[in-house]
Chain A
Amino acid sequence: LSQQTNTLNSELFTLTYGALVTQLCKDYENDEEVNKQLDKMGYNIGVRLIEDFLARSSVGRCHDFRETADVIAKVAFKMYLGITPSVTNWSPAGDEFSLILESNPLVDFVELPDNHSGLVYSNLLCGVLRGALEMVQMAVDVKFAQDTLRGDNVTEIRMKFIKRIEENLPAGEE
């Protein structure tokens, strides 16, 4: 029974996410708008999720972007999605890297219909990462470079460090 329970739990989030994307596709005219909305919602989740993460993970302050990358891949992704992406493709300046996901829990049983080729189905994740890191004073740019849903072999999230944020700016909500 516990195995069934585990399966069910994972699907609750996946199914709910699917229902959300379906609803957004109905509400918005084009894929770009849906992508934006997913990013915004992810951002709103990220700014709250970071507290949950810090409370549960006992991870201290990261000293550099490399450490941040490791924590994201090995602690955060593991904790929330049960997967550990690999960290690769570092830029020479050390300000950009890729997360490679062999499997993406969000897309189980999902197929993109033909008329949504511009949809970045898992775009919520980009917003989550962006929002969470903003709360620890890092402005980052996050986007999908590869997506198995769109025919690529792996799913690749590209993260770029933009700048440090001053401590006393209030948290935004979008």
Chain B
Amino acid sequence: MADEALFHFLHNELIHYAYKSAEQGEVENGRCITRLENMGFRVGQGLIERFTKDTARFKDELDVMKFICKDFWTSVFKKQIDNLRTNHQGIYVLQDNKFRLLTQMSAGKQYLEHAPRYLAFTCGMVRGGLSNLGVKSIVTAEVSVMPACKFQVMIQKM
């Protein structure tokens, strides 16, 4: 079993790699974010593929989201999502008050501009996990005050 720290170090290195040869600017930043998100997507798919082999099928969409918030989040981040909200029309907001991949950075408003790159991979993981559970989505994230962040999942009708 690989230690959690290894993943954190590797994740940081992925971000460093994605941005290493990138020029400044919106477009380039967008590309880097997309790359990280795509890598996360593949990992999310892979995680769900193995994890839910023996688990019973889910009742409905909300059940799937609860699974992400509890089981999936605990397995990946050693804690559950702190708060789940939904408008019951396909939009879910997952709040993590102490997001593990942000706790290394200073708490508060410093480095806020860099936060998106630390969230991109995880957004991809969620999207990938959902994808393998038969749910198509768009996942974004925002940080207001580190290390708290919110992941927004928009279910796409297939």
Contacts and interface: CB of A to CB of B under 8 A. Distances in A.
Interface of A: 1, 4-20, 22-23, 37, 41, 44-45, 48-49, 52, 79-82, 105
B16 interface: yes
A22 B42 contact: yes
Given A15-B47, A16-B43, A82 B2 contact: yes
Given A15-B46, A17-B10, A49 B51 contact: no
A14 B2 contact: yes
Category for how many chain B residues contact A: 20 to 34
A7 B75 CA distance: 9
A105 B9 contact: no
Interface in B35-76: 35, 39-40, 42-43, 46-47, 50-51, 54, 71, 74-76
Contacts, number: 88
A142 B76 CA distance: 31
Given A19-B39, A52-B9, A79-B3, 15 more contacts: A4-B51, A5-B74, A7-B50, A8-B50, A9-B75, A10-B2, A12-B43, A13-B7, A15-B43, A16-B11, A17-B10, A20-B17, A22-B42, A45-B10, A81-B6
A2 to B, nearest CB: 10
A29 to B, nearest CB: 15
Contacts of A18: 42, 46
B27 interface: no
The SS class assigned to the B binding surface is helix
Contacts of B75: 4-5, 8-9, 12
A19 B9 contact: no
B6 A13 contact: yes
Contact of A45 (B9, B47, B74, B76): B9
B5 interface: yes
B5 A105 contact: no
B150 to A, nearest CB: 22
Contacts of A10: 1-2
A5 to B, nearest CB: 5
B47 A8 contact: yes
B13 A45 contact: yes
Given A5-B75, A17-B10, A80-B5, A12 B47 contact: yes
Contacts of B16: 41, 44
